[in-house]
Amino acid sequence: MTPRPYVLAETNWKAVAATDFQVAILPWGATEAHNYHLPYATDVIECDAVAAASAKIAWESGASVVVLPTVPFGVNTGQLDIKLCLNMNPSTQAALLRDLVSALEQQGILKLVILNGHGGNDFRQMIRELQPQTRVFLCSLNWYACVDPKPYFTEPGDHAGELETSVMQHIAPELVLPLSEAGEGSQKRPSIAALREGWVWSPRPWSRVSADTGVGNPAAATPEKGARYLEAVAARIGAFLIELAEKDLARLYE
């Protein structure tokens, strides 16, 4: 394998020391059950792939970006009764983020993009608290929400459905079981109207919502759909990274 100079885990001190990185990308996933057919590391594998594909576009356009190792643990407080769904509380995430930002600031890397791949993670309040304490520009995005999935999938699904299954079939087919072994990903809806309609929010107790841990039917998934969607996502995020790398933060608002 040829090392990619924009992926920190693959590069070396000789290359890093000679590079003035403008933007760091921190992929953040989770370790949790994904129906019967996808691996527990689905969110991590997807984050790795999306971050690298996006950074490649930026790097080849002259933007000096670096992908940090993916954090493999996310907020899974609603899945604690599901074997080996591993939880990291938001307060722990905030402490980890603070330490990483402190290191980047001392090293003169003053732009950080948190690339989120897990629906239970939410970094907005952490950024609100941390931003006044650091010179590092902080932002976050959910890779699965930056491109409308409807033109690409029949029924994208919320978790281990057609979207995630298609992406995994494309990037890690050896880890995906045959779709004949997958559950239907059906979910029970809240019995309170406001929760069903989405204008009141409460965390979902996952084992009471889904029998197979999936939400969304993966039956129509194909690797071709995953490839097309990942290409669109990487193109959009890559363009953002290029613009962010070039931007003078003193002129962010004009």
CATH number of the domain where residue 71 is located: 3.40.50.10310
Note the pLDDT of residue 1.
81
168 neighbors 35 (Cβ within 8 angstroms): no
Residue 241, classified by CB atoms within 10 Å of its CB into exposed (0-12), middle (13-18) or buried (19+), is buried
Domain contains 1: no
Q: Is 108 left (phi over 0), alpha (psi -120 to 50) or beta?
A: left
Q: Is the pLDDT of residue 180 over 90?
A: yes
pLDDT in tens, 47-100: 999 999 999 999 999 999 999 999 999 999 999 999 999 999 999 999 999 999
pLDDT in tens, 99-111: 999 999 999 999 9
pLDDT in tens, 192-204: 999 999 999 999 9
Number of domains the chain is built from: 1
Domain contains 204: yes
Instruction: List beta partners, residue 86.
Output: 31
Domain contains 117: yes
pLDDT in tens, 130-165: 999 999 999 999 999 999 999 999 999 999 999 999
Instruction: List beta partners, residue 140.
Output: 114
182-193: b (≥16 Cβ within 10 Å) or e: bbebebeeeeee
Amino acid type, 187: Q
* Residues of the domain holding 78: 8-251
**Maximum CA extent, the chain:** 59
Note the pLDDT of residue 200.
97
What are the phi and psi torsion angles at 9 (to 5°)?
A: -65, -20
Q: To the nearest whole number, what is the mean pLDDT of the chain? A: 97
Note the pLDDT of residue 254.
87
Note the pLDDT of residue 11.
97
Neighbouring CB atoms inside 10 A of 141's CB total 16
Domain contains 96: yes
150 neighbors 163 (Cβ within 8 angstroms): no
Token pair in block for residue 199: 């204008």
